[in-house]
Structure 1
Amino acid sequence: MKINKIYYVFLGALALACSPKMVDKPASNQEQQTSTAEETSMNTMPGMDKKIPMDPDVRMGVLDNGLTYYVKNNGKPEDKVELRLAVNAGSVLEDDDQQGLAHFMEHMNFNGTTNFEKNELVDYLQGIGVKFGADLNAYTSFDETVYILPIPSDDPEKLEKGFTILEDWAHGALLKTDAINDERGVVLEESRNGKGAGDRMNKVTIPVQFYGSKYAERLPIGKDEILKNFEPEVLKRFYNDWYRPDLMAVVAVGDLDPAVLEQKIKDHFSGIEPNKNPRERPEFNLPNHQDTKVAVAQDPEATFASINVSYKDTFESEPTSTVGDYRDDLVNGLFSFMINNRLQELTQKPNPPFIFASSSYGGTVAKNKNAYSSFAGSAPDGQLGALKAVLEENQRVKLYGFGEAELERAKAAYKSSFESFYANRDKTESGRLVGQYVNDYLNGGVTPSPEWRYETTMDLLPGIEVSEVNAKIQKYIHDDNRTIVFTGPTTENKPTEAEILKVVNEVASAEVAPYEDAVVRENLIETLPAAGSITKTETNEKLGTTTYTLSNGITVTTKKTDFKNDEILMSAYSYGGSSLYSDEDYMATVFANGGLTEAGVAGLSQTDMDKYMTGKLVNVRPSIGSTTENLSGSATPQDLETMFQLVHLYFTDLNKDEEAYSSFISKQKSFVGRMMSNPQTYFSNEVNEMRFKGNPRYAGFPDEAAYDAADYNKAYELYKERFANAGDFNFFLVGNVDDQVIMDLSKKYLANLPSTGEKEMYKTFDWKEKQGTREITVNKGTEEKSLVQMRWDYDIATYNAEEDLAVDALGEALTIRIIEVLREQEGGIYGGGARGSMSKIPEPGFNFSISFPCGPDNVEKLIAATQKEIAALKENGPSDIILNKVKEGYLLEYKEDLKSNRYWLNNLVSASREQRDPNNMMNFEAKVAKMTANDIQAVANKYLNDDYILAILMPEVK
């Protein structure tokens, strides 16, 4: 059957959130032999053939012309509806002379339609706060093209315009010759952006991965020679063939009466005439093959080595449509969950065989074909070892299976994640729901209600037996229909097909040892100091926050919200950070700090911690920044005490484990060893080397030698020092908090942390970056690709909040002009923009940057065009139209942000850390309304001075 992609993504997220690893009793050979029969019997249980019901809150229909629609009311975010037009046509349907035109057609729907002349569409949407790229977007894949439009739902005129846009996308493209010719440059720049090591290696690997299929011949970006030279009639032929109502679906999810949305769809789409003689829409497969196909692709600019083993099913899949299908998806997901836990454990060994690895069963590029795939990233010279390790884990399961304890832990993880999903069922954003219905249309699935999914999962999970999960490996792994792909940097000893197949054959006949597990204790904290107390309580009525001062000096600020039913976010800081290190200590530890938490806490290794955390949706992460030491985390209300326990232990009982640290260093060295081969990484490093020359605390980009020189002992010692005084920490918790619970947990786990009674402050340094106009050109890379950056970064006398907003608005205004001029008028870039900000700590500063990729021949012209736009903003300020676009974008975003726990947490923390009035976050709308073009013009003249860097990446001189 076909795995429901949305559901499978949900399972993948679940696997990342929790990672239990335990085996109890290996399956015997006899159990393996009988498992297939047990699996079959399980799927013949009563009710397994019952159809999965579509969510009754979703209105579905098919218009007389064949167009399908889905409508659902959803109140988060308020006053907004997410619209999608899904076209069941992509690059795989292109004729030989149309390669790249499915994607080109997507571009043309933004360049002249029945109701919007060229550029009017983007101009209108920006005027109501919908940002091009961030909000308004589209994508083209092999089998589909999907248009994305979020629109306000509280204004009838804007709503009507939104559906008019969607209707135009469906059948109103003008496809004027001059507009087509103007867009060629933009699409070719997008193609240029994709060129490089990955693209070159794809040309070797894709014919193997997609062996014998049309997919191997129809990458969505197409061929440059066709994009440059096709006649407009060729594009129109694709449009007329495939943009038709019987190959389309409209999806509308948002804060509006479903009857209104349904009527809008009928009004706008019922009149589209169906094709009288429609071209047959074929389905394409991945043909079966008896042998193992191998591809090895290396490139001198590649930075990362990977291996991929894929076992494609020999049979065609079907959509998940029955309860039995759904149950089978659960079994597949549990298998992937458990095998990935074992693979994760291997990454924590002193000399891990790979940096990371994963295995899963799911869909492929073809709609009707599934595969079991194992993937790993390794050091460039470690690919054969990574392949061996991944295959051995598959073989271990094949020989011995998983244990009962492993399955029970996986079930516990699923149960807790589904409980959280169910608790937040009325708090899910429309943007996260709409994709499910797009997927249903394109892939033939069905999305049940949250209630059905939760209740069915809770009912099915207990009955899944370890024997039927173990039986999956027999179905997954076979000698035919197998592909093995190696990609990575150029090495002296490139792996050969014979060497790869030798590893495969050796592992297949090997008698690997059973998986061994150790029992983990039941409690995180075995002994706990006496509880402290709360000495003061303060409230802020305007913000709805409460701040507790604990007996050791810690402050805890809470903000209760109803944005998510099952989410509490935490952040904490104290001043100091690495600024209090000597220059020598800083340089000795800067690359070691990342490995400190790999050791675990309280005598539990990271593997033990993963097991202990099974079924708990909680995480805590300490860190040491340049001016602060920090903790961040999240938990459900049920797991909040575990989060507090982890915080307590990261202060008092961080393990020191040389083997865990060695594993971290090994993985980091594997990852960074070839990073300088990447032209953009090399370019960034060269720019930084120029900027920070002479800075005694500049460590540069790490290489293997830097990791070898990192001092773990000193890093551990300084970590303990930084977290020795908890009394100057400030904690913030936002979400579904219960203040009485927070008070109790704070007294039990925070108020008893050690405190010196001192309040530290960060240090500043005398070294300053050289200023003045500086230019640097870096030649790196073999492709005809360039990158232009302009950067201002310098200290200022004082921080000003109003100027900070104006500087940010300057970035937004300049981005609009860069897209209008460099992309739409010049056709010289695909994307680019500007951004600016001001900082208050550690010292007041100004930062502004402009960046865009382009062709080498256009560098000087596009730099001149950018400088002209900067000069125009300095002389005249932004136009009223652009100012309105910036303001509307701010207001639309702010309206949604106010319903976000993350937004509240970030603002409360930053206001405290920078000693600003937190109440100002509630005045944002007034500040935006007050901001004028003169304000933006003023900061442009004040700060965009000659103290900037012009950095240009050019290809290597041939």
Structure 2
Amino acid sequence: MIKLWKGALHALLLFCFLGTSTVTSQNPVNQKTGSIPSEQLPITPEVKIGQLENGLTYYIQNNGKPEDKVELRLAIKAGSILETDDQVGLAHFMEHMNFNGTTNFKKNELVDYLQGIGIEFGADLNAYTSFDETVYILPIPSDDPEKLDKGFQILNDWAGNALLTAEDIDDERGVVIEEYRTRLGAATRMQSKYLDKVAYKSRYADRLPIGTKENLETFKYESLRRFQEDWYRPNLMAVIAVGDLDVETLEKKIKENFGNLTNPDNPKPRTEYGSENHEETFVAIEWDEEATNSQVQIYYKDKGDVKKTKTVKDYRDNMVEGLFSQMINNRLNEYTNKPNPPFLFGFSYHGGIIGNKEAYQSFAQTNETGQLEALKVLLEENERVKRYGFKATELERAKKDYLARLERQFKDKDKRESNRIVGAYIQHFLRQSPVPGIEWSYNYSKSELPNITLEEVNALIVPFLHDDNRLVVLTGPKKEGLTKVTEEEVISLLESVKSSDIKDYEDEAVRSEMMAVKPTKGNVVSKETLYEGQINEITRMTLSNGATVTYKKTDFKNDEVLFEAFSYGGTSLYSTEELKQTSSANGGLFEAGVDGLTKNDMTKMMSGKIASVRPYIRGNDEGMRGNSTPKDLETLFQMVHLYFTKLDKDEEAFASYISKQKAFLGNILSNPNISFSIALGEFLNEGNPRYFGFPKPEDFDNANYDLAYEKFKERFANAGDFNFYFVGNIDEAQLKDLAETYIASLPGSATKEMYKTFDFRPKSGAHEFTFKKGTEPKSQVNLIFSGDTKYDVEEARAMTALGEILSIKLIEKLREEEGGVYGAGARGSISKTPYGRFNFSISFPCAPENAEKLADASIAELQKIIKDGPTAEDLDKVKKAQLLSRKDELEQNRFWMSFIRNADYNKSDFNNVVNYEENINAITAADVQAVGKKYLNDGFIKAILLPEDQ
């Protein structure tokens, strides 16, 4: 797997916490803690950091969630940037080879062994290669000394013991070329034309980790071996071990397995490559026939290198920058809720772009004719902040949100899963990112946030914006009738905004509470324990209006409560004509606010609170989903009540939704894979009077908002027909009071509805569907078995197991033996609602010339299982993976929410959880073989995507 280190995504996710900054701010002594900002940042006491004599660094932390598992990582400061001209693509190729023959695991033995202990290739076992690093990922059981030893032995092999035989290298060429093939398309073609402007006069522009097809096909074996010899060395490595085992044991394992590694006698210097500055403004305008959307990007590149966050002052600077980013993005987000929004979404931030470069960046996705307008809005908002700054009210809201997120992390600091902890230590090793720990971060931020002034935040924009070292990138679809934006138009707009008439931002006040007056309470009329014992209590309250509230109190997270609700019916109860008129309108219902609050008002009002609710109407049901902290649970309940009773009808909000949908979906058919999927759906549903296919622009123009709104009120008129669910850190007395206040008070009756089923069934049996789209030599193969059946829980388990077993065989055959795919998989299921139906599918991308051959090979692998049954070894792999996955799931709120809700929805048995291990172990090879014989012998749909010239 390849990972490009994209500062955009990194900064977008982390700007409120640990993003870097090149801006200086005040240097006060903290009046509450007495800490001096120039002090070095602490390192969290939770981690032990050490270094072996050979230079290998290690990070160890004991963490008991999940139980009996250790997350191991091997991080290497070596990526594609270090490749010589004859090694282009080989840093990533080297990653592949570590799974295909090492000192202790010959070809394919590694994956086979790990599958044998329940670790899935891809889902659990993985790796990625970037420009600057390679990281290997291995979760391993910690309660079995033999498996733990094997885990460290695997890491040791990855550290430099790949065999790299000529035969193994040649066998893997096809797999890597197939991965290369998956990346071909409009985005790659356009990026290749402007990357040299992002990474100006930089090696990064010529070292995309995937490499080139030519070099992957022809490189000499010695080139790859030389890369391993030069860069896979202990002084460029770190081992990270976080999990349910004591630090002493883990440290001993690291020393035993890595202490004897040696560095080369004359190690090559690990050169840091940069990007040069440029005086002029670069403009890149690229379009492509297969581009699905239009984007605008502005880069104001910093002139200096990245500033590391080392001191308390640096951390404080990051806080200021985080507040700035939140406020500018709050303003940009408001545009998306306007009747004719200039973009689908837009955001700005300061963060890394490539190598040693950071930049202040503004980004927007817009409709195909709206690039200049979106660019104008981004520029004007930056200019507005430069001229007038932010408002004090904006800063106060940003501080509340900033602290609320940190507080949630702080409260859950002892409930973090190990796989969520290791990343910080990887980045500390690779980029010297700070790891002060959430406790220090929360306490420092809580005490220092009040001291951050509006003047500090406003001052950031001045060094961010400059005319030199600037880049504007526009990308979008190329199509008849569409005029391409010119460089002259972009330059003219850049200049004109500087002198344009821009008014100050008006921050309109909103009310402070979701509901000013509480409704008249109902009451709980009965309470019962649905299940207790091995799965802990699941409790159900029946309310006076007929609604039920089912809940499970857990201690998996301290600051999380999940919420769902459903009622049977959905659009199945609409007439065909009503469905036609509302199918493109239903999604826009919830763009309106509630009780006179617009979405923008609700965002402001929710500052410092963490709670969300999202209603939905689907084919067979309607309902809501949401989450909150225990502290903000009442706000969630208030939202629920208001969505039932006071959803606003807002023509402007609906117009905004229609505009955004048309912009988002307008060119999506240009993507060959998406177009194939849509065409296949239409083929399978041919003759279905209630299937309207992929929406067209005129469908949105004809969407009947009035009817959709009336049908919504109809679907949510009777709360007594709804089932409500809560899972998490629940105070039962509080939950009862809130349920009586906000749910029992809703209109309700004893009337119970059921969804309606129809006679039409999608195509099944033997059919062929060939679809031609696209210019790249890429194909997609889908093989589909489906049909009606009577639901049987044991057959359902066997069908799922058959899909997972076949996935193992497809990887072995199509990837490892044929070298014809990068990934392939099968999935089997038998569903109970709305009617009994089985579905079994095989899918993979490949070269067009191999599509038929690999489709035949896939069916042949399936027929082997049907004829002879699966091997005991393969069935055991699947069972162990399912049991290992379930062990982790049992400590997750989202699993319990899904299980309890679906048990009601499908009218299934809670014992499926209690007896899960017994039920899985009871699956036999004969069961899997029987379900294959019963369901997968009557023909299948062969659907193949081919390029247009085939």
- State the TM bucket, normalised to the shorter chain: over 0.9
User: What is the DSSP-based 3-state SS (H/G/I as helix, E as strand, rest coil) of the residue aligned with 1:364?
Assistant: strand
Give the conservation status (yes or no) of the 8 Å contact 1:3–1:320.
no
Equivalence for 1:861 = 853
2:463 paired residue number: 475
Which residue of structure 1 lines up, in the alignment, with residue 424 of structure 2? 436
Partner residue in 1 for 2:310: 321
Alpha-carbon shift at residue 373 of structure 1 (Å) = 0.4
Partner residue of 1:523 out of 499, 513, 516: 513
Task: Decide whether the 8 Å contact of 1:3 with 1:362 is kept in 2.
Answer: no
Q: Deviations over 1:828-856 (max 9, x none)?
A: 00001011111111111111111000001
How far did residue 12 of structure 1 move? 5.0
Pairwise CA distance, 1:44: 11
Whole-angstrom CA distance in 2 between matches of 1:602 and 1:793: 46
Matching of residue 835 in structure 1 with residue 827 in structure 2: yes
Contact 2:281–2:469 (8 Å) recurs in 1: yes
Q: 1:78 aligns with which of 57, 67, 81?
A: 67
Match of 1:801 in 2: 793
Equivalent position to 2:25, from 35, 39, 42: 39
Give yes or no for the alignment of 1:724 onto 2:717: yes
User: What is the CA–CA distance in structure 2 between the aligned matches of 1:685 and 1:952, rounded to whole Å?
Assistant: 13
- Give 1:541's aligned residue: 532
* CA offsets 1:790-811 (integer angstroms, 9 cap, x no match): 1123221x21111111111111
Q: CA deviation at 1:40?
A: 4.0
Equivalent residue letter for 2:218? N
1:590 paired residue number? 583
Q: Distance in 2 between matches of 1:311 and 1:80?
A: 44
Match of 2:491 among 501, 511, 527: 501
Q: Please name the residue that 1:450 is paired with.
A: 438
The aligned counterpart of 1:101 is: 90
1:655 is paired with a residue whose SS is coil
Which stretch shows the higher mean deviation, 721-730 or 445-454? 445-454
Q: Which residue of 2 aligns with 1:761?
A: 754
Residues 31-180 of structure 1 mapped to structure 2, 5 A cutoff: 39-42=25-28, 47-180=36-169
Question: Offset at 1:364?
Answer: 2.1
Of 331, 341, 365, 2:330 maps to: 341
1:394-423 CA-partner distances (Å, limit 9, x unpaired): 011000000111000000011111111100
1:271 counterpart letter in structure 2:
N
8 Å CA contact 2:16–2:402 kept in 1: the answer is no
Partner Cα separation in structure 2 for residue 5 and residue 857 of structure 1: 37
Displacement of 1:38: 9.4
Question: Cα 1:42–1:466, aligned 2, differ >3 Å: closer, same or farther?
Answer: farther
Rate the CA distance shift 1:168–1:596 in 2: closer, same or farther, 3 A: same
Indicate if the aligned counterparts of 2:17 and 2:319 stay in contact, CA closer than 8 A.
no
SS of residue matched to 1:873: helix
- How far apart, in 1, do the equivalents of 2:518 and 2:254 lie? 62
> Which residue number corresponds to residue 21 of structure 1?
none
Cα distance in 2 for residues equivalent to 1:459 and 1:7: 26
Identity of counterpart residues, as a percentage?
53
Tell me by how many angstroms 1:86 deviates.
0.5
- Which residue is equivalent to 2:179? 190
Structure 2: which amino acid aligns with 1:838? Answer: I
Whole-Å Cα distance in 2 between the matches of residues 308 and 550 of structure 1? 53
Distance 1:47 1:433 in 2: 28
Secondary structure, counterpart of 1:912 in structure 2? helix
Give 1:62 shift.
1.1
Give the conservation status (yes or no) of the 8 Å contact 1:310–1:372: yes
Instruction: Identify the residue that residue 929 of structure 1 maps to in structure 2.
Output: 921
CA separation in 2, counterparts of 1:6 and 1:210?
A: 17
- Quick one: which amino acid aligns to residue 447 of structure 1? V
Tell me which amino acid in the other structure corresponds to 1:661.
F
CA distance in 2, matches of 1:14, 1:351: 33
**Equivalent of residue 771 in structure 2, options 769, 778, 781:** 778
Q: Partner of 1:940 in structure 2? A: 932
Instruction: Please report the RMSD computed on the Cα atoms of aligned residues, expressed in angstroms.
Output: 1.7
Q: What is the CA-CA distance between 1:13 and the residue it aligns to?
A: 8.0
Cα 1:315–1:770 change in 2 (3 A) is closer
Report the Cα offset of residue 768 of structure 1.
2.2
Q: CA deviation at 1:7?
A: 8.8
Q: Indicate the SS of the match to 1:634.
A: strand
Tell me the distance in 1 between the aligned counterparts of 2:411 and 2:374.
40
Name the SS for the 2:851 alignment partner: helix
Give CA-to-partner distance per residue, 1:567-611, whole Å, 9 cap, x none: 000111111111100000011111111110111101101110111
Structure 2: distance between partners of 1:205 and 1:614: 39
User: Which one-letter code corresponds to 2:421 in the other structure?
Assistant: L
- The separation in 1 between residues aligned to 2:845 and 2:14, in whole angstroms, is 36
Q: Distance in 2 between matches of 1:628 and 1:376?
A: 35
Q: Distance in 1 between matches of 2:473 and 2:96?
A: 33
CA shift, 1:106, in A, is: 0.4
Is 1:571 the equivalent of 2:557? no
Match of residue 890 from structure 1: 882
- Counterpart residue type for residue 942 of structure 1: K
CA distance in 2, matches of 1:386, 1:198: 20
The equivalent of 1:702 in structure 2 is 695
- Which residue matches 1:27? none
* Inter-CA distance 110–37: structure 2 relative to 1 (3 Å threshold): closer
The amino acid across from 1:162 in the alignment is G
Tell me: CA distance 1:470–1:13, structure 2 relative to 1, closer, same or farther (3 Å): closer
Residue matched to 2:414: 426
Note the C-alpha offset of 1:450: 2.0
The answer to whether residue 261 in structure 2 is matched with residue 272 in structure 1 is yes
1:309-365, CA deviations, whole angstroms, 9 ceiling, x for partnerless residues?
011111122311100000000111110000000000001110000010010011221
Instruction: Name the SS for the 1:285 alignment partner.
Output: coil
Shift of 1:11: 3.6
Q: Which residue of 2 is the match for residue 26 of structure 1?
A: none
Structure 1 residues 441 and 37, CA gap change in structure 2 (3 angstroms): closer
Cα–Cα, structure 1 residues 550 and 111, in superposed 2: closer, same or farther, change >3 Å?
A: same
1:381 paired residue number: 369
Change (3 A) 1:131 1:344: same
Per-residue CA deviation, residues 619-671 of structure 1 (Å, 9 max, x unaligned), is: 00110111111111101000000000000001000000000000000000001
Q: Is structure 2 residue 395 aligned with structure 1 residue 404?
A: no
The 8 Å contact of residues 38 and 468 in structure 1, kept in 2 or not, is answered as no
SS of 2:409's equivalent? helix
Give the secondary structure class of the aligned counterpart of 2:315.
Answer: helix
User: In the alignment, is the contact (CA less than 8 A) between 2:8 and 2:353 conserved in 1?
Assistant: no
Is the contact made by 1:84 and 1:149 (CA closer than 8 Å) also made in structure 2? yes
8 Å CA contact retained: 1:38, 1:467: no
Asked if structure 1 preserves the Cα contact closer than 8 Å seen for 2:24 and 2:317, the reply is: no
**Conservation of the 8 A alpha-carbon contact between 1:82 and 1:151:** yes
Query: Residues 912 and 918 of structure 1 are in contact (CA less than 8 Å); yes or no, is this contact kept in structure 2?
Result: no
The amino acid across from 1:473 in the alignment is I
Unaligned runs of 5+ in 1: 16-35
Pick closer, same or farther for the CA change 1:839–1:828 going to 2, 3 Å.
same
Shift in alpha-carbon separation, 1:404–1:442, aligned structure 2, 3 A: same
Q: Secondary structure at the match of 2:421?
A: helix
Does structure 1 conserve the Cα–Cα contact (< 8 Å) formed by 2:546 and 2:749? no
TM score, norm. by length of structure 1: 0.96
Displacement of 1:8: 4.9
Instruction: Tell me the CA shift for residue 9 of structure 1.
Output: 6.0
Using the alignment, how far apart are the partners of 2:637 and 2:421 within structure 1?
32
Q: 1:142 to 1:120 in 2, by over 3 A?
A: same
Task: Provide closer, same or farther for how the CA distance between residues 702 and 337 of structure 1 changes in structure 2, counting only shifts above 3 A.
Answer: same
Decide whether the 8 Å contact of 1:357 with 1:374 is kept in 2: yes
What is the distance in 1 between the residues matched to 2:260 and 2:27? 51
Give 1:210 shift.
1.1
Residue range with higher mean Cα deviation, 627-636 or 487-496: 487-496
Closer, same or farther in 2 for the Cα pair 1:42/1:494, shift >3 Å? farther
Residue 4 of structure 1, CA deviation: 11
Contact 2:772–2:948, Cα closer than 8 Å, also in 1:
yes
